[in-house]
């Protein structure tokens, strides 16, 4: 039985957005299949890989663990909202220059998480970065170059 859809008004990447969601649909499903923002990835659908990480009202969340209807009135930022009209954000540039991605499937989640960290703590230690990013799995890089990219971005943003 198709469920009755709920009308949701929200803000995504600074733009007002309205959509209809089934109550059972996760925010990730809504972002990808309804709003057509496929930058957030599904790796596990149970909150363990972090590939679907988005920023929701200033907190980073696994969008697979949030219901689409919970987006009502929220302010959501996805990977698609990180770059600006002026170009890539320093964290994006740092990931490229430090070869911090191989396959790139986990990259959107890492970028959203890292950006949130640097906005709260402009100069995090290696240990702090590792702790903060422990909810994002990467299977390609061994994290070395990701941690270095976050440190490089912090330096760039401070200058």
Partner 1 sequence: MTTTYEPNKVLSNKEFKVVGTRPVRPDGADKVTGRAQYGADLQLTGLLYGKTLRSPHAHANIKSIDFKKALALEGVKAVVSAKDFPETKDTANYGLGDSPMNYFRGNILADKKVLYKGQAIAAVAASSVHVAEAALSLIDVKYEVLDAVLTAPEGMAKDAPILHDDLFTKEFEKQTKVNSNIAEHFQHKMGDIDEGFAGADVIVERTFDTATVHQGYIEPHNVTALWNDDDRIHVWTSTQGAFTVRAAVSEALAVPVSKIKVTPMEIGGGFGGKINVYEDPAAALLSKKAGHKPVKMVMTRAEVFEGTGPTPGSHMTVKMGATNEGKIVAAQANLAMEAGAYPGSPVGAGAMCVFTAYDIANVTIDGYDVVVNKPKTAAYRAPGAPNAAFAAEQVIDEIAEKLNIDPLELRLQNAAKEGTRRADGPIHPRIGCVEVLEAMKEHHHYQSPLTPAKNGGKVGRGVGIGFWFNIGMQSACNISVNNDGTVNLVEGSTDIGGSRASIAMHAAEVLGISYEDVKPQVADTDSVGYTAITGGSRTTFATGWAAYEAANDVKAQLIDRAATIWGVDPDSVEMEEGVLRSKTDTELNMSFKDLSAQLNDTGGPIVGRGAVDPSGIGGSFCGQIVDVEVDPETGKTDILRFTVVQDAGKAIHPSYVEGQMQGGSVQGIGWALNEEYYYSEDGRMNNPTFLDYRMPTSLDLPMIDTVIVEVANPGHPYGVRGVGEANIVSPQAAVANAIKSAVGARMEKMPMNPAAIMEQLWS
Sites of contact with partner 1 (CB under 8 A):
2, 22, 24, 32, 36-46, 48-49, 51, 78-80, 82-83, 88, 92, 95-99, 101-108, 111, 126, 129-131, 133-148
User: In whole angstroms, how close is the CB of 97 to partner 1 at the nearest point?
Assistant: 6
Give the residue carrying structure tokens 């039985």.
1
Give the residue carrying structure tokens 């590939």.
51
75 vs 130, beta carbon nearer partner 1:
130
Task: Write the DSSP assignment of 24-67 as a string of letters.
Answer: T-BHHHIIIIIS--TTS--S-SSSSS-TTEEEETTEEEEGGGSB
8 vs 82, beta carbon nearer partner 1:
82
User: In whole angstroms, how close is the CB of 93 to partner 1 at the nearest point?
Assistant: 8
CB 98 within 8 A of CB 145: yes
């Amino acid at each position: 039985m198709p469920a009755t859809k709920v009308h949701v008004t929200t803000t995504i990447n600074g733009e007002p957005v309205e959509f209809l969601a089934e109550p059972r649909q996760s925010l990730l499903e809504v972002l990808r299949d309804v709003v057509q923002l496929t930058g957030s990835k599904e790796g596990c659908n149970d909150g363990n890989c972090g590939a679907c990480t988005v920023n929701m009202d200033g907190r980073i969340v696994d969008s697979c663990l949030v219901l689409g209807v919970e987006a009502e009135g929220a302010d959501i930022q996805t990977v698609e909202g990180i770059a600006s009209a002026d170009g890539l954000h320093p964290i994006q540039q740092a990931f490229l220059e430090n070869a911090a991605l191989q396959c790139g499937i986990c990259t959107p989640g890492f970028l959203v998480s890292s950006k949130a960290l640097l906005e709260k703590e402009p100069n995090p230690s290696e240990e702090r970065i590792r702790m903060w990013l422990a909810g994002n799995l990467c299977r390609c890089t061994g994290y070395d170059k990701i941690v270095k990219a976050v440190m490089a971005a912090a330096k760039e943003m401070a200058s």
